[in-house]
Amino acid sequence: MCLLKILTLFLFICAGVQYANPLSWLPCTFSEYIVHVNSEGARDIQLHQRSDILQFGQRGDSPVNPHAVTFLVIESKTNLLSYLKDMEADQVDCGIRRADTESAHVKWPGQKSHECNSWFSITLTHTKDLFTVSGILRHPCEPPPSGQQDVRNWPAIEDGQTLITSVAVIMKTQTPTMTSGLGFQKKLHCQFAVDHKRPNVSVQWYQQYHGERRNLFSHASHTRQSEGRGVELRNLAGGDLSYILPFTEVKHAGTYVCFVSVFPLSSSLHIRLQIQESPQVSLNVAPTLTLQEGEMKKVVCEAENYYPLDVHIVWYEQDPATSGQRVGTPLPKALDNILLSSHKNNMDKTFSLSGFFYLQASLRQSGHQFTCKVSHQSLRMPIKKSFILIVEEPTSWFTLTICSIVVILLSVLYFMLRYLHQARKYSLQKKPY
């Protein structure tokens, strides 16, 4: 597809074509089915793609590239160009294909009595995923030889042909991809328009996740009946079909489809919602851990309540005394004796995991810094938690014995002096003078 667009732009350069308005036209990729009949009469249907032009203007405008298929979009009540405000041509990817109406023939408002309609589906996406526009183009034409509206029965469109079209149905979302944590309100943006007043419109929202489909909301204008919730009915008349998620949960992750149907046409937009919850990281030790030489301690780094599943826990050891060296500063050493617990499934569908090791204190490690680093796709930067190890020499039995004797003697001396003081005070009170 990219190669087709590059070839199209190259043709414009060779022809000396320049455009002042960045969106007076767009290079597109046109996809259609080509039918081949073999010697046995069997039909072989193949998808054929080629470069074409989506051009905005009036009837009679010359195509910017006379050698390419040109879809000339003329002004109508539904203005496609207004959905692409402040955009440049190189910021938009364009695709056009035949729209299959399943052989249904319906007189479209504004259509002349002798005309038939050829329908084309158009999709415009922003290169940085800022929006997606989807719609249906109407091309008035002569009836096909077979009298059927099957796209496989229409004659092929030749290079250099210009098709005068207008926008029949248009949709736009400014949230094609969204990322949310848990417990937030999110608005899935979707707006639509039809080229005539009071159309018979059916709208719908549904969610797709792991192959399952869940209906969320539907409304039919001709019956005024609705099912589900999440869409403000008073906004539908103005074309606002946005869906509100009041409180995001893990189950809300997936693809949401905004669907609009005006018989025999239908158009849809896909919005992907990702749920990401950052882990809460904690250690089971204080910022300074004091141990005696030879003492063993289980040190645990806990990553809790994160989503989705994948998380990475690494422990490092570093001597802060060497970190201030300008040259030859050793890198933190990753510990290789780390053990990981099994993933814990929490009630809210999030996960928890711990990475731990057994630390046997030695005097050479005194003053070293131990750091737990937790990485997760919801984090721009990993979370780090550290502690400093202080190792003391063990106290000998001889020292403990001497200290104990001294404490006992001091206690006995204290009580004896207190007794003598009380006795002397008593003897003074007995004297008659």
Quickly state the pLDDT bin for 363 (edges 50, 70, 90): very high
CB neighbours of 380 closer than 8 A, spacing ≥ 6? Answer: none
CA-based nearest residue to 174, from 161, 191, 159: 191
Q: Which backbone phi and psi does 294 adopt, to 5 degrees?
A: 90, -15
In angstroms and rounded to an integer, the radius of gyration of the C-alpha atoms of the chain is 38
CB neighbours of 387 closer than 8 A, spacing ≥ 6? Answer: 283, 285, 286, 287, 288, 289, 299, 369, 370
Largest Cα–Cα separation, the chain = 148
pLDDT at 107: 77
Q: Does 145 have pLDDT greater than 70? A: no
Once rounded to an integer, what is the mean pLDDT over residues 317-330? 70
- Angstrom distance (rounded) from CA 346 to CA 281: 16
- Angstrom distance (rounded) from CA 201 to CA 198: 8
Domain 280-324+331-392 carries which CATH code? Answer: 2.60.40.10
Please state, for a pLDDT cut of 90, what percent of the chain lies above it.
59
Quickly state the pLDDT bin for 108 (edges 50, 70, 90): confident
Contact call for residues 133 and 124 (beta carbons, < 8 A) = yes
Q: Which residues are 351's β-sheet partners? A: 306, 345
Contact call for residues 64 and 25 (beta carbons, < 8 A) = yes
Quickly state the pLDDT bin for 62 (edges 50, 70, 90): very high
Q: Going along 235-382, which residue ranges are E strands?
A: 243-245, 254-262, 265-275, 280-283, 288-292, 296-306, 312-318, 333-334, 339-340, 344-345, 351-360, 369-375
Residue with tokens 């943006």: 189
Once rounded to an integer, what is the mean pLDDT over residues 89-95? 92
pLDDT at 395: 67
Once rounded to an integer, what is the mean pLDDT over residues 295-318? 96
pLDDT at 42: 73
Of these ranges, 46-50, 318-322, 346-350, 392-396, the one predicted with the greatest mean pLDDT is 346-350
Q: Does 302 have pLDDT greater than 70? A: yes
Please state, for a pLDDT cut of 70, what percent of the chain lies above it.
84
Contact call for residues 207 and 256 (beta carbons, < 8 A) = yes
- Angstrom distance (rounded) from CA 307 to CA 181: 9
Q: Which amino acid is at 260?
A: V
pLDDT at 327: 56
- Angstrom distance (rounded) from CA 368 to CA 317: 7
CA-based nearest residue to 388, from 320, 293, 326: 320
Once rounded to an integer, what is the mean pLDDT over residues 49-68? 91
- Angstrom distance (rounded) from CA 58 to CA 226: 40
- Angstrom distance (rounded) from CA 430 to CA 416: 22
Q: For 385-401, b where at least 16 C-beta lie within 10 A, e where not — what string?
A: bebebebeeeeeeeeee
Q: Does 298 have pLDDT greater than 80? A: yes
Q: Which part of the chain has CATH 2.60.40.10? A: 177-275, 280-324+331-392
Q: Could you tell me the fold of the domain covering 177-275? A: Immunoglobulin-like (2.60.40)
pLDDT at 146: 54
pTM, to two decimals: 0.78
Tokens of 398: 């001889």
Interval 226-236: pLDDT, tens? 999 999 999 99
Contact call for residues 26 and 53 (beta carbons, < 8 A) = yes
Contact call for residues 103 and 148 (beta carbons, < 8 A) = yes
Interval 392-429: pLDDT, tens? 987 666 666 777 788 888 888 887 887 777 777 766 66
CA-based nearest residue to 374, from 361, 390, 355, 358: 355
First to last CA, the chain: 122
- State the average pLDDT for the chain: 85
Interval 148-200: pLDDT, tens? 545 455 667 888 999 999 999 999 999 999 999 999 999 999 999 999 888 89
Q: Does 348 have pLDDT greater than 70? A: yes
CA-based nearest residue to 167, from 135, 192, 189: 135
pLDDT at 101: 75
Q: Which residues are 387's β-sheet partners? A: 370
Q: Does 74 have pLDDT greater than 70? A: yes
Of these ranges, 88-92, 206-210, 244-248, the one predicted with the greatest mean pLDDT is 244-248
SS3 324: coil
- Angstrom distance (rounded) from CA 121 to CA 97: 5
Q: Going along 68-199, which residue ranges are E strands?
A: 69-74, 92-98, 116-126, 132-141, 162-173, 177-180, 186-188, 191-194
pLDDT at 325: 57
Q: Lowest-confidence range among 34-48, 68-82, 259-273, 332-346?
A: 34-48
pLDDT at 398: 63
